[in-house]
């Protein structure tokens, strides 16, 4: 038993060290290391974007990447990070039920229509967030793990600091409008990379395009999944204050990037710009192991 525990600790240490080096590389990058771009930034005043080579942490493109923006439903990437961590620590299991309060049930759309007094199992809750971006489920998770959504948001912010997301403040678990809830494209890139590095065994949830619940097929908002080769997640987001946001992970032939686009004027314009960034910068990313 002691040997098993020691081996598990060593594996965990290697994973943490690997993530540390990627984040150090990302933090060390400056605008001078960014490639000359043939991709035209969006004209929206809310626009911000970054493209990172996840094999070495190099920033391939950035525009307004450290300017404060509203995360909208990209917030749910951190809500899921906290839930995955609770699962790995044995504090909650995939079949456990998450209770739904009256507060959670009243969250505005997107939602799956939970009612006060109901519950939802953890696995379905993960799909509801990653696929449908359900605000009612996000609030229920926050209350269940944090005791209240406010306390959970403080936990999310503390976790963000520990990951190196120095400009991010969370005020709720969903990304619904709140003047105090801010982030940057740079910080969202750190979070997107951290999710894949820390939770490779849970990461597959971000690649789902639909799921079944209460006899219905619920489809997602991420139009790049299944359409752009190599895209395997992560998350869309929209509120009026943020515009249309998208975090994307994509890999082909040993090359992998994470890209964040914030402030699109429409989902179509955001998606088209993301695809343009992918097609230009992915071939310029490093090969794994190179």
Choosing from 73, 101, 130, 249, the catalytic residue is 73
Q: Which of 212, 34, 189, 184 is nearest to 112 (CA)?
A: 212
Is 76 a residue of the active site?
yes
DSSP-derived secondary structure for 247-280: EEEEEETTEEEEEEEEEESSHHHHHHHHHHHHHH
Q: Which of 197, 273, 288, 284 is nearest to 228 (CA)?
A: 273
Is 106 a residue of the active site?
no
Q: Measure the CA–CA gap between 272 and 285, rounded to whole angstroms.
A: 20
Tokens of 282: 């992915």
Q: Which of 35, 85, 16, 60 is nearest to 185 (CA)?
A: 60
Choosing from 76, 111, 159, 235, the catalytic residue is 76
Choosing from 101, 133, 242, 249, the catalytic residue is 133
The residues carrying an active-site annotation are: 73, 76, 133
């Amino acid at each position: 038993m002691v040997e098993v525990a020691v081996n598990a600790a060593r594996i965990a240490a290697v994973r943490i060290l690997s993530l540390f080096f990627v984040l150090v590389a990302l933090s060390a990058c400056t605008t001078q290391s960014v490639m000359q771009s043939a991709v035209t930034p969006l004209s929206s005043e809310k626009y911000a974007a970054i493209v990172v080579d996840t094999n070495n942490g190099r920033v391939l493109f950035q525009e307004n990447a450290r300017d404060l923006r509203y995360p909208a439903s990209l917030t749910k990437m951190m809500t899921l990070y906290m839930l995955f961590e609770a699962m790995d620590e044995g504090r909650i299991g995939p079949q456990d039920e998450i209770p739904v309060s009256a507060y959670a049930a009243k969250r505005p759309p997107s939602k799956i229509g939970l009612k006060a007094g109901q519950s939802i199992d953890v696995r379905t809750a993960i799909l509801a967030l990653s696929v449908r971006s359900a605000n009612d489920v996000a609030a229920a998770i926050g209350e269940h793990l944090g005791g209240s959504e406010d306390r959970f948001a403080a936990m999310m912010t503390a976790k963000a600091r520990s990951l190196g997301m120095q400009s991010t403040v969370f005020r709720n678990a969903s990304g619904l409008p709140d003047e105090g809830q801010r982030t940057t494209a740079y910080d969202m890139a750190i979070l997107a990379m951290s999710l894949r590095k820390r939770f490779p065994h849970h990461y597959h949830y971000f690649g789902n395009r639909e799921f079944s619940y209460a006899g219905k097929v619920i489809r997602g908002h991420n139009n790049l999944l299944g359409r752009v080769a190599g895209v395997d997640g992560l998350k869309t987001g929209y509120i009026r204050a943020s515009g249309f946001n998208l975090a994307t992970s994509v890999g082909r032939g040993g090359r992998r990037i994470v890209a964040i686009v914030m402030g699109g004027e429409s989902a179509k314009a955001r998606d088209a710009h993301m695809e343009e960034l992918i097609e230009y910068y992915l071939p310029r990313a490093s090969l794994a192991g190179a």
